[in-house]
């Protein structure tokens, strides 16, 4: 059974499944990079008219669409696509390690970076996932944390406020070396 939840981004919808969708963590795929996608399920989903971005996580996927396609057209197609996959496959959609993009950056051994990643993973990512998105650590330099907003958060009208008021305040509270947070 597939359930949907609205997200703060009106152009994004979260599709929840009782099946495991990804065993490799959260991954994002964009229509403008469809030629790099090897997974047939994701490639077909990205080829739907209006689908701009797909984010897969353990038990949900988020779809971000263009403004010109209404959800009442796209939503049944996505639900049908998910149901069809799980009727014919017992395995998660994402399961192979080669599909995982590395998020390792220089300085991963640095204690400050470890603290930043721990706060992101334990305090921030679960909240962002509830809204159908994800946040990935990119770098830390001169007091500035660079992150990447994915899924529903990408292009969301309230994401800048979330970033500055939520993420930045939490990181500054838990990691004294952090002065600001920026999305790239």
Domains in the chain (CATH in brackets) are 2-99 (3.30.1370.70), 111-183 (3.30.300.130)
- Give the residue ranges of the chain where pLDDT is below 70: 96-109, 157, 160
CA distances from 161 to 52, 69, 149 (A): 23, 27, 13
pLDDT at 51: 96
User: What is the spatial distance between Cα 124 and Cα 171, in angstroms, rounded to a whole number?
Assistant: 9
pLDDT of residue 97: 56
Q: Which two three-digit tokens encode residue 137?
A: 């650590």
Q: Is the dihedral of CA 130, 133, 137, 140 positive or negative?
A: negative
CA distances in angstroms from 43 to 47, 128, 171, listed in the order given? 6, 25, 36
Instruction: Give the pLDDT confidence of 17-33 residue by residue, as tens digits.
Output: 999 999 988 899 999 99
Report yes or no on whether pTM surpasses 0.85.
no
């Amino acid at each position: 059974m597939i359930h949907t939840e609205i997200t703060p981004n009106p152009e994004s919808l979260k599709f929840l499944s009782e099946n495991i969708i990804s065993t490799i963590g959260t991954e994002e795929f964009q229509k403008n990079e469809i030629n790099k996608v090897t997974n047939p399920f994701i490639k077909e989903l990205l080829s739907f008219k209006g689908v701009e971005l797909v984010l897969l996580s353990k038990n949900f996927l988020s779809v971000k669409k263009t403004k010109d396609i209404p959800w009442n057209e796209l939503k049944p197609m996505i639900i049908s696509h998910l149901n069809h996959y799980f009727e014919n496959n017992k395995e998660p959609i994402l399961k192979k390690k080669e599909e995982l993009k590395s998020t390792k950056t220089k300085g991963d051994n640095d204690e400050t970076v470890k603290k930043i990643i721990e706060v992101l993973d334990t305090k921030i990512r679960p909240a962002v996932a509830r809204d159908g998105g994800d946040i990935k650590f990119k770098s830390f330099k001169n007091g500035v944390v660079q992150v990447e907003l994915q899924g529903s958060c990408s292009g969301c009208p309230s994401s800048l406020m979330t970033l500055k008021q939520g993420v930045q305040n939490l990181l500054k509270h838990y990691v004294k070396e952090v002065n600001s947070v920026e999305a790239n």
